[in-house]
Amino acid sequence: GENVEQHPSTLSVQEGDSAVIKCTYSDSASNYFPWYKQELGKGPQLIIDIRSNVGEKKDQRIAVTLNKTAKHFSLHITETQPEDSAVYFCAATMYSGGGADGLTFGKGTHLIIQP
Amino acid sequence: DAGITQSPRHKVTETGTPVTLRCHQTENHRYMYWYRQDPGHGLRLIHYSYGVKDTDKGEVSDGYSVSRSKTEDFLLTLESATSSQTSVYFCAMRRKDTQYFGPGTRLTVL
């Protein structure tokens, strides 16, 4: 089955600086890669996703890049703000036509924005 | 917010007792999932459903069963709870490619 590795487990950056979180996956058939943000006591919320036919996707201060050859994808957050402090999870799955396909998650990165 | 709720939100129970967690969606989506979240493990898939009465096992299904008699409800049952099942349980529904998560149920098995 799929295995997703996520690094680092904790990341501390100064407010206004950029943050990068990296994930690798094992199954070359995986074709969907979402990123979730989880605040304390809440469920994960999707912040951005990318499909295997795209190399990069951007949404305001957040971007995701995908390297299918190397089987890794990264989350980039620019101009970090205090409200970016949370735990971030990457995930991967292979969505096939009609299949249910659960997500395989990384173990999470605790992002701390220092004022 | 996605229309997905979980009940109860917190539960404390004793080893050996049965426990049922409920997930309810208001959007009539076909796919629903149960995950558990433990420190150092991220989220792991327990069971999933692809329609009424259609369910299958995930990565960590031992000790759990599920049922889906209506599109909107997906139940997770621990037939005889053990301390290793102390965890936070999240339900999700899938809209197109995106899985939307509920607020979670914190279960403590003493």
- Specify the 3-state DSSP secondary structure of A38: strand
A interface toward B at CB cutoff 8 Å?
Answer: 1, 6, 32, 34, 36, 41-46, 49, 51, 89, 95, 98-100, 102-108
Class of residue B97 by CB neighbours under 10 A (exposed 0-12, middle 13-18, buried 19+): middle
Tell me which residues of chain B, numbers 38 to 77, contact chain A at a CB-CB cutoff of 8 Å.
40-45, 48-50, 56, 58-59
The residue-averaged pLDDT of A87-101 equals 84
Give the tens place of pLDDT for each residue, B80-96.
999 999 999 999 999 88
The mean pLDDT value for A27-38 works out to 96
For residues B51-70, give the mean pLDDT: 94
**Residue A35 in this model has a pLDDT that exceeds 90:** yes
Mean pLDDT in residue range A48-71: 95
How far is B6 from B4, CA to CA, in rounded Å?
7
The residue-averaged pLDDT of B35-41 equals 92
Place of tokens 């201060």: A61
